[in-house]
Structure 1
Amino acid sequence: MTPEDRFPGPEHPDSGPRHQPDLDVLPYGTYYEPDPNGGYSATGYEAETYSGYGGARYLEQHWPATGPEQGHTVHAQNGPHEQAGYEPTLPDHPSPAHGGHPGPGPQSDDPPTIELGPPLAEPGQPYHPYPAPGPDEPVGPLYVVGDVHGYLDELRTELRHQGLIDADGHWSAGRSRIWFLGDFTDRGPDGIGVIDLVMQLAAEAAAAGGYCRALMGNHELLFLGAARYGDEPVQSTAGTASFLAAWRLNGGQQSDLERLEAHHISWLSRLPAIALEDGHLLLHSDTTAYLEYGESIPEVNDAVHDLLADEGVDEWWDCFRRFTKRFAFRGDSGPTAVRELLDSYGGTRVVHGHSPIPYLTGAVHADDGMPPHVPGPYVYAEDLAVAMDGGVTMEGRLLVSRLPI
């Protein structure tokens, strides 16, 4: 984990701005500026976000570039901050302390689910796949959402601003298509609320002939690992740690773990790691680690799902570690790394979350305490990559954007 993935977030619900060290990362691309007539207003965001990040200078000094993958991985250690004897307890999922490792995959007593949607109201209700457009009916527009990290109110505001939900929080975009790029939980106040909203929208979009889908981010792997393995030790290059310790150090919110239910686990565990839509290769992390899991998109997704279903804690930890790497697309070697992924998986441009745009651009907190300037998605690596993590946890913004950019 890089430094910004080590520092804990505050105990929510009340979060607030915090001063950030100066950043010294040089920009390598340009911003996509949204329409100023309907664009972003910082009102309501400045006092609602939290920065849990260290400065980029610290990051670059302690995690120097090591080839196309910039940044080493560091693992959290058990420490006095941990609550002794804590055991996460989930419905129908035995805790590690009782001799069981509850799997994240579908359980035999789970209610049936629609694809990437919430549990159906009654067991046995028939499955309804997403309806295909008619022969003369075009598919709807495509949207992507960057890292949410538990900021439910900000997510609702941005979805409403884009016309994707109505004032009551229900799908209002017809046949539109939307992909969340992962990292629903941790650092922000209501990760489970974010997951519930996305699951709700998946069902409502499907009924309207559109779809709402999501990728698995490294924080999904971390959250599920904390729920399944708790304090069970894992062997890391930095010494013995545990998923629960790492999750807490990464801003894990106790309220999310307490509210996590079997249907959340089942849904999260089936999220794909990678997808291709309209020539856009959708990833959570700006890393080439996906190539280590397969030469095609189905191979990668199957490999990750098989690992989560059948492998042990060390294999799961290694998967989390690999997908926490970042900055592969930055700098002189960045375009080559992007092309390697595009050559393997298809598409003409990568769209990713994970690495906050203020880190990629070198945006700084002004002396007057204003948040970093994030006008929109960040296009870089010779226009081959689009970054969508607007840094909502570091007083940036939560990005929801229509593709292509």
Structure 2
Amino acid sequence: MTPEDRFPGPEHPDSGPRHQPDLDVLPYGTYYEPEPASGYSEAPYEAETYSGYGGARYLEQHWPVPGTEHGPGAGAGDGHGGHGGHQGYEPPALSDHPATAHGGNGGHQGHPEQRERQSDDPPTIELGPPLAEPGLPYHPYPAPGPGEPPGPLYVVGDVHGYLDELLAALRHQGLVDADGHWSAGRSRIWFLGDFTDRGPDGIGVIDLVMQLAAEAAAAGGYCRALMGNHELLFLGAARYGDEPVQSTAGTASFLAAWRLNGGQQHDLERLETHHISWLSRLPAIALEDDHLLLHSDTTAYLEYGESIAEVNDAVHDLLADEGVDEWWDCFRRFTKRFAFRGDAGPTAVRELLASYGGARVVHGHSPIPYLTGAVHSDDGMPPHIPGPYVYADDLAVAMDGGVTMDGRLLVARLPI
């Protein structure tokens, strides 16, 4: 029995039916899985990458045992960080956060044969502190003093409009309070992109992240976000609409591609100038604590610059000045996926790390069930996602838990 089977964490609310397909598609309905990048050996794209394949494994979510002190409470100097130890922790009920509960899709047991593929004692990414007792204020960190080190670092996988699930996951980590406000002191959070499309409330997700960014800054921490391919698609749909673009699949438009990929009309109708301004300035790539943060598992970033600053400037300049075809080409490049999977994967990761720095890539974009080959279950159960997925010789961490396909919206604390 693995830890997530015993303590599966919070059950996430069910925001309604999941919109298919779960991989991005270009016009005329073809999945966009590009050929291997030139210079790499042929990658076995059809091969399953279960635990053990190329060093891949899950980083299991180790939930605290009721009646014992949780690891992060041991203090910041022990390698885990400290929020103060709370004993006797129980996962919070859905009523503890403002989202409306409609049932749960978290904590799936998974197949025994799949669990057997996981190592007996895999390393973990700690997922944050237990919550305070109900009704008590939660202030895990004081304001930072001069020369103090930064707070712990968290990453959030693809949200795709599932606001209720996002609030539940952040609340379970102690990063927001029962009213959805920042409660993590000087902690640091990076969202890996893809706020909208497929789910019911993409604009609500953007509003929440913008709110948390302001509240975190006031508390001495920060909340930041990367630009995903769905941000490029959403902004393109708003700016260019049905204006034709030239694509390899024939003449298409941003609006048609956005609808094909789960675009929600009510999100487009609620999009305001301040949303556009904020989204347009998001970086495409970042480096934090030796983690190279990307949205997409692709080497296409190398086509936009040899440094992080060059890549971000190139994307921002393109969104500000270039035309519809250049914008479309950027969207297509950042929609590529699976560059880190298979035999050629470690080589691709190392090329990115050599250019941009860091010791490991952390990305969203490609749902973990597709990376592991566990998309379809014989018994109809949702995919088993125990936590972030490490692969490519331990050089890559996948964070898209497949919330759009009844998986899990992942929020994970990275090692500092």
**Is the pair's TM-score, using the shorter chain for normalization, greater than 0.5?**
yes
Which amino acid is 1:386 matched to?
V
Q: Which residue of 2 aligns with 1:195?
A: 206
Mapping of residues 2-401 of structure 1, within 5 Å: 14-15=16-17, 25-27=48-50, 28=53, 29-37=56-64, 133-401=144-412
Q: What CA RMSD, in Å, does the superposition of the two structures yield over aligned residues?
A: 2.6
Write the letter of the residue equivalent to 2:218: A
Q: What is the alpha-carbon distance in structure 1 between the residues aligned to residue 190 and residue 374 of structure 2?
A: 26
CA contact (8 A) 2:185 2:219 kept: yes
**Counterparts in 2 of 1:48 and 1:263: CA distance versus 1, 3 Å:** farther
What TM-score do you get using the length of structure 1 for normalisation? Answer: 0.72
In structure 2, stretches of 5+ residues that fail to align are 1-13, 23-45, 66-89, 95-100, 107-142
The change in CA–CA distance for 1:45 and 1:316 in structure 2 (over 3 A counts) is: farther
The number of residues matched between the two structures is 310
- The one-letter code matched in structure 2 to 1:26 is T
Structure 1 pair 19–371 and aligned structure 2 pair: CA distance change class (3 A): farther
For 1:392 and 1:359, locate their aligned partners in 2 and report how far apart those are by CA, in whole Å.
Answer: 13
Q: Give the C-alpha shift of residue 404 in structure 1.
A: 1.9
What is the TM-score when the length of structure 2 is the normalising length? 0.70
Deviation at 1:356?
Answer: 0.3
Cα 1:292/1:234, change in 2 over 3 Å: same
Change (3 A) 1:328 1:40: farther
SS class of match (1:179): strand
Q: Relative to structure 1, is the Cα distance of residues 296 and 372 closer, same or farther in structure 2, using a 3 angstrom cutoff? A: same
Mapped to 1, the partners of 2:411 and 2:248 lie a distance apart of 37
The offset of 1:40, in angstroms, is: 8.4
* Distance across 2 between alignment mates of 1:177 and 1:41: 22
Q: 1:195 and 1:204, CA in 2 relative to 1: closer, same or farther beyond 3 A?
A: same
Distance 1:40 1:359 in 2: 29
Q: 1:195 to 1:260 in 2, by over 3 A?
A: same
Residue 42 of structure 1: how far off its partner (Å): 12
Q: Is the Cα–Cα contact under 8 Å of residues 105 and 407 in structure 2 kept in the other structure?
A: no
Cα 1:167–1:141 shift into 2, 3 Å: same
Contact 1:164–1:172 (8 Å) recurs in 2: yes
CA distance in 1, matches of 2:102, 2:398: 20
**Alpha-carbon distance between aligned partners in 1 of 2:21 and 2:190, rounded to the nearest angstrom:** 32
**Cα distance per residue 1:10-56 (max 9 Å; x no partner):** xx974269999xx973323100011133798999687679xxxxxxx
Amino acid of the residue matched to residue 60 of structure 2? Answer: E
Within 2, Cα distance between the matches of 1:200 and 1:241? 35
SS at match of 2:235: helix
Give the AA of the match of 1:198: V
Distance in 1, matches of 2:345 and 2:300, equals: 14
Give per-residue Cα distances to partners, 1:75-113, cap 9 Å, x unaligned.
Answer: xxxxxxxxxxxxxxxxxxxxxxxxxxxxxxxxxxxxxxx
| Amino acid aligned to 1:34 | Q
Decide whether the 8 Å contact of 2:15 with 2:102 is kept in 1: no
The unaligned stretches of length 5 or more in structure 1 are 1-11, 50-131
Amino acid in the other structure paired with 1:243: F
Change (3 A) 1:42 1:332: farther
Residues 384-393 or 360-369, more deviating: 360-369
Do the aligned partners of residues 383 and 40 (structure 1) sit closer, same or farther apart at CA in structure 2, a change above 3 Å counting?
Answer: farther
